[in-house]
Amino acid sequence: MQSTSQLRSLSVLRTAALIALPAGAAGSIGFMLRAGHRNPSRVLLIMFAIWVLSPFAALVFATIVSKDWSVLTRTTLYWVMLVLTVSSLAIYGDVALGPPRAKTAFAFVVVPPASWLLIAITISTAALISRGRSARSSDKRTIEPKSSRPMKIRTSCARDTGDTRTNNGPTHQGRL
């Protein structure tokens, strides 16, 4: 069971990530349009916009399906959302607002697949770690009987006679 402060921290982190994500997507598109303002092809700009937005769309999808994920995996997801937003805005902002460059499109081509890779590696790693933790904690649990009374079991020969015997341990004679 998670403590109230941990759940509150997760809620604050989730809220920050859900605010930052659309702001980062909008800022990224703004920087892309600023960097490509001299390009006459609207189709190319639309294709770049879809490409630049793809990691943000993936994170929105991950947020929707993450309701049943472990706390560790969701925390990782929210941190990735924040890191991806800040990193994308920093890189795209430098390209769009910095000095003119010969290959402006390079950043807009490379950052989305790098973002996909970051998302895949971090979320998968967190899920594997979380699954490993839950498996270890379930191995440590022991199943204890509900009462201290001996448990009555039927043996294969008791089925024929209707006889029940008390299971007091390994002293029984015959097959179960």
pLDDT of residue 142: 47
- Mean pLDDT, residues 48-64 taken together: 96
Among residues 81, 76, 105, 102, the alpha carbon closest in space to that of 91 is found at 105
Sequence-distant (6+) residues with CB within 8 A of 79 are: 13, 17, 122
**Percent of the chain's residues with pLDDT above 90:** 59
Instruction: Evaluate if pTM is beyond 0.85.
Output: no
Specify the higher pLDDT residue, 102 or 14. 14
Please write the tens of the pLDDT for every residue from 61-91.
999 999 999 999 999 999 999 999 999 999 9
Residue type, 104: T
175 domain residue, yes or no: no
- Mean pLDDT, residues 16-42 taken together: 94
What is the pLDDT of the chain when averaged over all its residues? Answer: 83
47 domain residue, yes or no: yes
Please write the tens of the pLDDT for every residue from 147-163.
555 555 555 554 555 55
152 domain residue, yes or no: no
How many CB atoms lie under 10 A from the CB of residue 89? 19
DSSP H helices, the chain, are 4-35, 42-65, 71-97, 105-140, 158-161
Domain with 86 in it: 4-140
171 domain residue, yes or no: no
55 domain residue, yes or no: yes
149 domain residue, yes or no: no
pLDDT of residue 155: 55
User: 73 phi and psi, to 5 degrees?
Assistant: -70, -40
114 domain residue, yes or no: yes
Reading the block at residue 4, the tokens are 């109230």
